Structure 1
Amino acid sequence: MTTVYIIRHAEAEGNVYRRCHGQYDSLLTPRGHEQLPFLAKRFENVPLDAVYASDLFRARTTAQAVAAPHGLSVETRPVLREIDMGDWEDLTWAELPRIWPEEYARWKSRPWEATPPHGESVMQAGRRMLDGVRALVRQHDGGAIAVVTHGSAIRGALTIAHGFAPEQMAEIGWGDNTCVARLDFDGPEQIDVVYENDASHLPQALSTFASIGWKDDKAVPSTMQIWFRRADPMNPADAEKIIAFMRELHRNAYGTDAGLQPDALLRDVVRAQQVSPRACCFGCREEDGAPVALVYLKTWYDAEPDIGLVGGFCIDAAYRGHGLSGQILGQAISVYRMLGKEYLVAHVGVDNARAQGFYQKFQFEKRGEYADANGNHFRMFKRICVD
């Protein structure tokens, strides 16, 4: 008998920024890093001959926590990757029903047969991943290994391992980040699923499901989700809304909007969108498209080539505290990562404790100061490059 522990990676950006991350390579979140010691503790006295992982950052970083107490290195295998989400990669989940209503409706209602455009289905991903595991079982006959992989691939693989028909996938449900399944193999083909989706090693405070409001294992967050559209500075209604958001931002940051120059702001937005059309976007309500947030990025800034500078994040006062902060941050990271930047940087007023708390929550670090007509600011850095 060969024992295989199938482990889902720790919490990653897509899980909390509400973005569709299949084979898109992303980083762990602060909570993801906090989850790792508990996963490592679970496995410190479990005999393991080897630790394998998908070659995506979130999986191989999680695997290192399992391997380290055993003095093992992590061996990566691309076959263990997450589902290929094709044209949906790195889009917000809230955007998908607007662009692909029929395909997304099928994904929600019949996921076992849904395939994102130019991607693969959950069952295809599960079969691919499980075939990779079977190859590892042949190498470690009679031993025990850990395999760190991804949520959709695990769900498809467990459906197959149970001998279920594809339409029985809902009986598997979703496992929380760092959850574990134990599969005992009698040869590569005969599989006994001893347990699955077990995240009992995590305290409730570190559960991803609990933090984003998943009421069950069906992947439906109870908190609000938004999609992003380009804010057009040449459209009078959009221009007025951009200025209104930035006035609110200045008042919150400095107590006054006297330093805001609307015409100069709109000119800068035009410059920024010449670099990336997504440099200034509204975050919109899923149901009716009403703008409830602004993400403005100074993509024209080139004094420090490895830096992506934030021009402003603002959430409508009525929607603060509804889980939008991670989603607007995720949009900024998406834009600047595509532009090849290593760091996301914000200039935060030294007296703006609320904004400093926002950035510190998402692991920005203070590195020096910056002064302009609005006063003194801390320079706050977050590394966004995936190695």
Structure 2
Amino acid sequence: MTTIYLIRHAEAEGNLYRRIHGWYDALITDNGFAQIAALQRRFQDIPIDAVWSSDLYRTMTTARAVYVPKGLELHTDPGLREVHMGDWEDKPWGEVYRFDADRIALFNRSDPSWQAPNGDSLAQVGERVHAALCRIAGGYPDKTIAVFCHGTAIRQLLAMVKGVAPQDWHKMGHSENTAVTRLFYDGGRLTLDPDLELDASHLPEEIRTMARQNWWRKDRSVRDVNLWYRPLDWEKEKESVYLAARAEAWRSTHGPELAFDGEGFLRDAQEHLSRSPWGVTVAMSGDEFAGLLQLDTRRYQELNAGYIPFCYIAPSRRDQNLGVQLIGQAVSFFRPLGRDKLRLRCAPYNDRAQHFYQKYGFVKVGEEQGSRVPLDILEKYIGYDR
């Protein structure tokens, strides 16, 4: 009999930025690395003979918690990948709620008729992961292996193992990041250890991902805010939306005494929009304006960095932890351009903004020269090779 520890990956960008990541190759977050450290402590005294993971970055990185300290090789199998989200890949959850409401409703209730547009169905991912796990386990008779996989993939696998009928898939629990399930493989059949299913007891509450989210709770009276994005309508919104936001941000940061150069900001915005319709991006929560994100493809290009001249959350939305979703939108804009860093500027006395950027991985790399106000240059690494 083979013993299998089936483990979900640590918190990744999709979990943090509220984006749809199936086969999209997302990075682990800083909080995710804290979860990996906790997982490593959990497995330090558990004998493991082999380690497998899907071939995606977030599972392979999480697997370091086991294979590195035990001196083992990491094996990968694409059959262990997450559900393929097809045309939804790397879209914000808020966008599919907005523009594909019927299909996302099917997904949310685990309806067996659901299928991602040009992607997997729930049955397909369950069957694929079941076949891969049986194939892998068959190569390790009487051994113990650790296998790193993904949330929906694990959920659908467990539905198969437990014999849950498709009409009851919605009753299956959701997996916390790095949660551990123990299975046994014998005679070509997988069985579940009922004493160890989706267990995340190694994680303190403060680093649990799902503790900060509400989408999985039965009580849906408190809902997560998932943003969607559209380009700024320059003719209709350059003053009422863009310039108004710029003025509010300037005065709240620098005070009313320092003159606001509205014309200069408008020139910069128009230049960025001339290069991309997303040069000034409007963040929306349902029908309501939630913020702005300005993106410059030229500045710092020689450093392989994407530049964010303006990252703004509307005052009414500033206590909802939405700014990180804007960072996620910037990552998704610049990463396909080959940029491995984000850069922005922040006044050293803007304590709230400084704290926010530090929390999400930005570090000071310099100071702006020749500006009207003191500005720190902050940078966040978004590449794959660290």
Under TM normalisation by the shorter chain, which class is it? over 0.9
User: What is aligned with 1:262?
Assistant: 262
Aligned pair in 2 of structure 1 residues 127, 175: CA closer, same or farther (>3 Å)? same
Q: Paired residue for 2:278? A: 278
1:350 aligns to 2:348 (yes or no): yes
Distance 1:75 1:275, change over 3 A: farther
Equivalent residue, structure 2, for 1:375: 373
Shift in CA distance, 274/155, structure 1 to aligned 2, threshold 3 Å? farther
Q: Does 1:223 align with 2:224?
A: yes
Question: Which ranges in structure 1 are unaligned for 5 or more consecutive residues?
Answer: none
Q: Which residue of 2 aligns with 1:207?
A: 208
Matching of residues 90-169 of structure 1 within 5 Å: 90-169=90-169
Question: Structure 2 CA distance, aligned partners of 1:352 and 1:332?
Answer: 21
- Contact kept? 2:312, 2:323, Cα under 8 Å: no
TM-superposed deviation, 1:221: 7.1
Greater mean deviation of Cα atoms: 192-201 or 36-45: 192-201
**CA contact 1:247–1:257 (8 Å) conserved in 2:** no
- Structure 1 stretch 131-140 or stretch 105-114: which is displaced more? 105-114
Structure 2 equivalent of residue 328 of structure 1: 326
In percent, how many aligned pairs have the same letter? 36
- Asked if structure 2 preserves the Cα contact closer than 8 Å seen for 1:215 and 1:221, the reply is no
CA distance in 1 between partners of 2:220 and 2:125 (Å): 18
Q: 1:384 to 1:220 in 2, by over 3 A?
A: farther
Structure-to-structure mapping, 1:234-253, within 5 angstroms:
235-253=235-253
Does the CA-based 8 Å contact 2:346-2:377 persist in structure 1?
Answer: yes
Match of 2:305 in 1: 307
Residues 114-144 of structure 1, C-alpha deviations (whole Å, 9 max, x = no match): 1111010222112111211111111111111
Q: How many angstroms apart in 2 are the aligned matches of 1:363 and 1:66?
A: 25
Q: Is the 8 A contact 2:227 2:284 kept in 1?
A: yes
Question: Given residue 213 of structure 2, which amino acid in structure 1 is its aligned partner?
Answer: I
Are residue 294 (structure 1) and residue 292 (structure 2) matched?
yes
Query: How far did 1:49 drift?
Result: 0.7
> In structure 1, the residue corresponding to 2:375 is in which secondary structure?
strand
Residues 89 and 347 of structure 1, relative CA distance in 2, 3 Å threshold = same
- Normalized against structure 1, the TM-score is what? 0.93
Distance 2:300 2:326 in 1: 22
Distance 1:118 1:45, change over 3 A: same
Segment drifting more, 81-90 vs 122-131: 122-131
- Output one character per residue of 1:87-128: Cα deviation in whole Å (capped at 9) or x when no partner: 101111111032223222222234332111101022211211
**Pair 280,219 (structure 1): closer, same or farther in 2 beyond 3 Å:** farther
Cα gap change, 1:257/1:74 in structure 2, threshold over 3 Å: closer, same or farther? Answer: farther
**CA separation of 1:302 and 1:200: change in aligned 2, threshold 3 A:** closer
Question: Counterpart amino acid of 2:312?
Answer: C
Residue type at the aligned position of 2:140:
H
Q: Secondary structure at the match of 2:24?
A: coil
Would you say how many aligned residue pairs link Structure 1 and Structure 2?
384
What's the counterpart of residue 8 of structure 1?
8
User: In 1, distance between residues paired with 2:211 and 2:253?
Assistant: 31
2:190 & 2:379 partners in 1: Cα distance? 50
The separation in 2 between residues aligned to 1:37 and 1:87, in whole angstroms, is: 34
In the superposition, relative to structure 1, how do residues 154 and 211 fare at CA in structure 2: closer, same or farther (>3 Å)? same
TM-superposed deviation, 1:370: 1.2
Distance in 1 of aligned mates of 2:268 and 2:240? 15
Displacement after TM superposition at 1:353 (Å): 2.0
CA contact (8 A) 1:224 1:323 kept: no
Residue 217 of structure 1 and its aligned partner are, at CA, apart by: 7.4
Contact 1:250 1:257 in 2 (8 A): no
1:148-207 per-residue CA deviation (whole Å, 9 max, x = no partner) reads 111011111111111222222223221110001111111332423433211111111111
Q: Using the alignment, how far apart are the partners of 2:52 and 2:221 within structure 1?
A: 30
Deviates more, 1:259-268 or 1:77-86: 259-268
Q: How far apart are the structure 1 equivalents of 2:102 and 2:109?
A: 11
Cα distance in 1, alignment partners of residues 216 and 59 from structure 2: 25
CA distance in 1, matches of 2:91, 2:223: 19
Map of 1:52 onto structure 2: 52
With over 3 angstroms needed to count, the CA separation of the structure-2 counterparts of 1:26 and 1:309, relative to structure 1, is same
Give the letter for the 1:102 counterpart: D
Q: With structure 2 as the length reference, what TM-score do the two structures score?
A: 0.93
- The answer for the alignment partner of 2:65 in structure 1 is 65
The secondary structure found in structure 1 opposite 2:82 is coil
Q: Does the CA-based 8 Å contact 1:161-1:193 persist in structure 2?
A: no
Distance of aligned partners of 1:385 and 1:259 in 2 relative to their CA distance in 1, 3 Å threshold: farther
Which secondary structure state, in structure 2, belongs to the residue aligned with residue 61 of structure 1? helix
Q: 2:183 touches 2:190 (CA, 8 Å); kept in 1?
A: no
Does the residue aligned with 1:169 lie in a helix, a strand or coil? helix
Aligned CA distance change for structure 1 residues 150 and 342 (closer, same or farther; 3 Å): same
Alpha-carbon deviations, 1:353-378, whole Å to 9, x = none? 22111110001111121124332222
Instruction: In structure 2, give the amino acid aligned to 1:230.
Output: P
